[in-house]
Chains A and B, each alone.
Chain A
Amino acid sequence: GESVGLHLPTLSVQEGDNSIINCAYSNSASDYFIWYKQESGKGPQFIIDIRSNMDKRQGQRVTVLLNKTVKHLSLQIAATQPGDSAVYFCAEPIRSGNTGKLIFGQGTTLQVKP
């Protein structure tokens, strides 16, 4: 079956440093991935997505890299700030009829040290 997984449950970085959160997936036919951020006490929030016809996509302070050869994607956060502290999930939408479901990875907790 489909699965996505993250490498590290917790990542601790110094404020101002760059953060890299990794995710692996198993289905080589997967063509779309999403990163979500979940702050404490809140629901997951969309950050950025990437399709399989791209290797890289940039947003504001965030970059997602996709390596289809090794079935790996990463989320890079530049100049990490305290407000970036959260749990980060990679997710893959799986289509089902008229809708789809999100398969989430385990989540990486990002801790930003002042």
Chain B
Amino acid sequence: DTAVSQTPKYLVTQMGNDKSIKCEQNLGHDTMYWYKQDSKKFLKIMFSYNNKELIINETVPNRFSPKSPDKAHLNLHINSLELGDSAVYFCASSHRTGGQETQYFGPGTRLLVL
């Protein structure tokens, strides 16, 4: 029943490792997003995909590579993890409605880089 789901919920890893976070939505939306929330709860967009096409890339380091195999999935791969990558990563999806879209968020993936 979960509309937007993410795996894993928690991810603890060593600096320098490569890891992936997966996101799936069953809402039939055509746009998906990745947001990063820092320790002060500040939420900032990283990427946006529309119909599997990258639309927004908010000057995120190229160690972060999103991949959208289909409209229902948007995965985030992170190479050479750094301490500063520790954060909560949220996936979201939306369906364009008159140009103003309600975005639905997943439960988040808590990444801790040691």
Contacts and interface: CB of A to CB of B under 8 A. Distances in A.
Contacts of A32: 100
B102 interface: yes
Residue of B96, B100, B108 contacting most chain A CB atoms (<10 Å): B100
A43 B90 contact: yes
A100 B50 contact: no
Interface in A20-40: 32, 34, 36, 38
A101 B108 contact: no
A53 interface: no
The number of chain B residues touching the other chain, given as a range, is 20 to 34
A87 B90 contact: no
B48 to A, nearest CB: 5
Contacts of A100: 48, 94, 99-101
A42 B100 contact: no
Residue of A97, A99, A100, A101 contacting most chain B CB atoms (<10 Å): A99
A94 to B, nearest CB: 9
A49 B100 CA distance: 10
B31 A99 contact: yes
A99 B43 contact: no
Interface in A58-81: none
Contacts of A102: 35, 43, 45, 103
A101 B33 contact: yes
B55 A99 contact: yes
A89 B100 CA distance: 17
Nearest to B41: A107
A99 B50 contact: yes
Contacts of A46: 102-104
12 contacts: A41-B108, A42-B107, A42-B108, A44-B90, A44-B105, A46-B102, A49-B100, A96-B48, A97-B55, A98-B96, A99-B94, A109-B41
Q: Which 6 A-B pairs have the closest CB atoms?
A: A43-B105, A104-B43, A101-B45, A107-B41, A98-B50, A99-B31
